[in-house]
């Protein structure tokens, strides 16, 4: 039996990767720099959120 949650996560990750690839291939140099900066900020935010959630369960 397949886990629907895992399938949904896989589809979401695939879509995100496709969108990111499309955005980078069609972006100008300054847009790529801004995209990288925003990506780094988003990764830090996700990391902070995971730390907070992890602290709640410990």
Report d(CA 23, CA 34) in Å as an integer.
12
Q: Look at residue 2 in the predicted model and tell me its pLDDT.
A: 58
Report d(CA 53, CA 48) in Å as an integer.
9
- Can you give the pLDDT of all 58 residues of the chain as single tens digits? 556 677 778 888 888 888 888 877 888 888 888 888 888 888 888 888 888 877 777 6
In this prediction the pTM is 0.49
The residue whose two tokens read 């900066």 is: 37
- Containing structural domain, residue 29: 4-57
Report d(CA 30, CA 36) in Å as an integer.
10
* 39 touches 24 (CB < 8 A): no
For the chain, the maximum distance between any two Cα atoms, rounded to a whole number of angstroms, is 47
Count: domains in the chain = 1
The residue whose two tokens read 């140099």 is: 29
Q: Look at residue 55 in the predicted model and tell me its pLDDT.
A: 79
């Amino acid at each position: 039996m397949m886990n629907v949650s895992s399938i949904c996560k896989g589809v979401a990750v695939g879509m995100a990767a496709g969108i990111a690839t499309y955005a980078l291939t069609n972006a100008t140099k300054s847009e790529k720099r801004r995209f990288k900066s925003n990506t780094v900020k988003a990764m830090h935010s996700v990391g902070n959120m995971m730390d907070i959630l992890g602290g709640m369960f410990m």
